[in-house]
Amino acid sequence: MSSLLITNIGELVTNAPPDAAAPRSGPPDSATPPDSGAPDSGAPYGGAPGPGTFASVADAALVIEAGRVAWTGPAARAPAADESVDAAGRAVLPGFVDSHAHLVFAGERGAEFAARMAGLPYQAGGIRSTVAATRAATDDQLRANLRRLSGELLFQGTTTFECKSGYGLTVPDEARSVALAAEFTPEVTYLGAHVIPPEFDRDLAAYVDLVCGAMLDACAPHARWVDVFCERGAFGRDEAAAVLAAGTAAGLQPRVHANQLGPGPGVQLAVECAAASADHCTYLDDADVDALASSATVATLLPGVEFSTRQPYPDARRLLGAGVTVAIATDCNPGSCFTSSMPLCIALAVREMRMTTQEALWAATAGGARALRRTDVGHLGVGARADLIMLDAPSHSYLAYRPGVPQIAAVWQAGKLATA
Ligand SMILES: [Zn+2]
């Protein structure tokens, strides 16, 4: 087994406390010092629930062994390794964790975007044109689109992503959507309750029964998560609760599209269901913020959507001030936000939502991991999966400081060089 030392790192973002050198359960003073070169147990760093914080080491080094982070610390104290890479003062960050994406679809909606920019408001019903194109596509066409988009994600530094169904909306089309998504990521979400398909226009109850019955049975074996678009014009509180309950009974874990287009019951429902994440959170009242702050439900903000629809941005400062755990994700989809770029979303979070560069970077890595209930990604503590980005810049702040500029010099996934 060969080890790799990456040294001369200008800024190593670990998102791990300095005493998190090894997975542990004891008090902090029993922890192994960060530079002891302790053997990697292979167990992920068990980040406790609650607000986490950005953490970094200057003039650092990192050792990868067997696909995991084996050591981090000051470069001057780095242990020897079989191979080494000189970062030449550049920054190394955890790979981005994009916890919200809709990548199983066919067709595109460039004309709808152009019309919206010319003054037409976004409405959830636009999803239906993508549903028609997706139903008409072959498996190979859907797979090719997934391959192209997952490649885009990787080249922009995303090493873990979630992928939803939701453009099939029949039993066979949803079943193939989750099965195709599972070829590309383990974080597959069943979103039969994305929009009400045209053939059920007059019978919402019958469609909810299908989503909770035969469609769920066909999708659950390929999915980890169940999601619902809880919004006026989509699914109301009772329907959304039924979908989440049925999904949970089938072994899936809940997450919710909540409070995107207006105030509504989505966030409260997400917290009541102990959902991993309430996504969008654009229109919140005080009770919604309090509910999130006193729960383990992550608020996942999707600023690319507000950018692409000219809607008001969520109030990230209010959420962070209340102690809510915040994640940032792309919501990559052909309608409301067709970007796969986490660096763009970080820049928007900083510029438009007034997050600090450290908060935004944390939200795009560790925050996304929390939203997917993953402890092995989103940080570079010892034992983490060796998913990391080398920036062509000395600091993570360049992601927002130089918006739109390609700065991902290399990406490692589970210790293997994926791009360079
Ligand atoms: Zn979405």
63 and 112 assigned to the same domain: no
The total number of structural domains in the chain stands at 2
Residues 342 and 230 in one domain: yes
Tens-place pLDDT, residues 236-260: 999 999 999 999 999 999 999 999 9
Residue 74 has pLDDT above 70, yes or no: yes
Angle between helices 171-181 and 127-136 (to 10 degrees): 80
The reply to whether 118 and 46 lie within a common domain is: no
DSSP 182-249: TTT-SEEEEEEESS--GGGTT-HHHHHHHHHTHHHHHHGGG-SEEEEEESTTSB-HHHHHHHHHHHHH
What mean pLDDT is predicted for residues 24-38?
A: 36
pLDDT-derived band at 408, boundaries 50, 70, 90: very high
**pLDDT for residue 93:** 98
| 29 vs 195, more confident | 195
Q: What would the mean pLDDT of 295-316 be, rounded to a whole number?
A: 97
Per-residue pLDDT averaged across 280-299, rounded?
Answer: 97
Residues 263 and 392 in one domain: no
DSSP 136-178: HS-HHHHHHHHHHHHHHHHHTTEEEEEEE--S--SHHHHHHHH
126 DSSP assignment: G
> Could you tell me which residues come within 8 angstroms of residue 174 by beta carbon, excluding any fewer than 6 positions away?
165, 166, 168, 190, 192, 215, 218, 219
Beta bridge partners of 83: 4
Distance from C-alpha of 338 to C-alpha of 117, rounded to nearest angstrom: 14
Ligand 1: centre distance to CA 24 (Å): 36
Q: Taking the mean position of all CA atoms in its chain, how far away is CA 209?
A: 29
- Please give the distance, rounded to the nearest whole angstrom, from the Cα atom of residue 214 to the centre of ligand 1: 23
Residue ranges near ligand 1 (ion) with Cβ within 5 Å: 331
Q: What percent of the chain has pLDDT over 90?
A: 85
Mean pLDDT of all residues in the chain? 91
The pLDDT value given to residue 36: 36
**In angstroms, what is the span from residue 386 Cα to ligand 1's centroid?**
28
- At residue 43, the pLDDT reads 31
Same domain, 35 and 128: no
d(CA 90, ligand 1 centre) in Å:
34
Is residue 52 located within the same domain as residue 176? no
- Between the CA of 303 and the centroid of ligand 1 the distance, in Å, is 12
| pLDDT at position 323 | 96
Identify the domain containing residue 84 by its residue range.
Answer: 3-94+379-419
| Amino acid identity at 132 | A
Banded model confidence at residue 386, pLDDT cuts 50, 70, 90: very high
CA 150 to ligand 1 center in whole angstroms: 16
What does R_g of the chain's alpha carbons equal in angstroms?
21
Q: What is the Å distance from ligand 1's center to 230 Cα?
A: 11
Residue 174 scores a pLDDT above 70: yes
Write the pLDDT tens digit of every residue in 55-68.
Answer: 999 999 999 999 99
Residue 337's CATH number: 3.20.20.140
Do 125 and 149 fall into the same domain?
yes
In this structure, the answer to whether residues 135 and 109 fall within a common structural domain is yes
Average pLDDT estimate for 217-228: 98
Could you give the CA distance from residue 241 to residue 117 in angstroms, rounded to a whole number? 34
Cα 13 to middle of ligand 1, angstroms: 28
Residue 84 and residue 15 share a domain: yes
What DSSP string runs through 316-357? HHHHHHTT--EEE---BBTTTB----HHHHHHHHHHTT---H
Confidence (pLDDT) at 33: 38
Measured in angstroms, how far is the CA atom of residue 344 from the centroid of ligand 1?
17
pLDDT of residue 383 exceeding 50, the answer is yes
Q: Are residues 144 and 47 in the same domain?
A: no
What is residue 39's predicted lDDT score, i.e. its pLDDT? 34
Contacting residues for 138 by C-beta, under 8 A, at least 6 apart: none
Q: What is the mean pLDDT of residues 258-277?
A: 97
pLDDT of residue 339: 98
The predicted structure's pLDDT at residue 52: 75
Smallest CA-to-CA distance from 108 within 123, 130, 127, 124 is with 130
Over the stretch 329-359, which tens digit does the pLDDT of each residue have? 999 999 999 999 999 999 999 999 999 999 9
- The pLDDT of residue 26 is 35
Q: How far is the CA of 403 from the centre of ligand 1 (A)?
A: 23
CATH of the domain at 65: 2.30.40.10
Q: Are residues 33 and 60 in the same domain?
A: yes
pLDDT of residue 123: 59
How far does the centroid of ligand 1 lie from the alpha carbon of residue 177, in Å?
Answer: 15
Question: For residue 35, is pLDDT > 50?
Answer: no
Q: Is the pLDDT of residue 270 over 90?
A: yes
Q: Using one digit for the tens of pLDDT, what is the confidence trace for 84-129? A: 999 999 999 999 999 999 999 999 999 889 988 998 765 555 788 8
- pLDDT recorded at residue 116: 87
- Give the distance (Å) from ligand 1 centre to CA of residue 294: 24
The string of pLDDT tens digits covering residues 153-167 is 999 999 999 999 999
DSSP for residue 70: E
* Ligand 1 centroid from CA 123, angstroms: 13
- The pLDDT of residue 51 is 52
d(C-alpha 50, C-alpha 163), whole Å: 25
Q: Alpha carbon of 123 to those of 93, 127, 128, 130: distances in Å? A: 37, 9, 11, 13
Instruction: Output the CA 332–ligand 1 centroid distance in Å.
Output: 8
What is the CB neighbour count within 10 angstroms for residue 120?
12
Closest by CA to 415, choosing from 382, 386, 388, is 386
Give 255 Cα–ligand 1 centroid separation in angstroms.
11
State pTM to two decimals: 0.92
Rounded CA gap, 329 and 39, in Å?
Answer: 34
Domain identity same for 314 and 208: yes
The CA 246 to ligand 1 mean position distance, Å, reads: 20
pLDDT at 124: 53
Give the Å distance between the CA of 313 and the centre of ligand 1: 15
How far away, in angstroms, is 102 Cα from ligand 1 center? 6
For residue 419, the model assigns a pLDDT of 80
CA of 39 to the centre of ligand 1 (A): 40
Q: How close is the Cα of 373 to the center of ligand 1, in Å?
A: 18
Cα of 260 to ligand 1 centre, how many Å?
A: 9
| Dihedral sign for Cα atoms in the order 6, 7, 13, 17 | positive
Question: What's the gap in Å between 385 CA and the centre of ligand 1?
Answer: 26
Q: Identify the band that residue 233 occupies on the pLDDT scale cut at 50, 70 and 90.
A: confident
Centroid of ligand 1 to alpha carbon of 279 (angstroms): 8
Compute, in angstroms, the gap from residue 331 CA to the centroid of ligand 1: 5
pLDDT for the residue numbered 394: 98
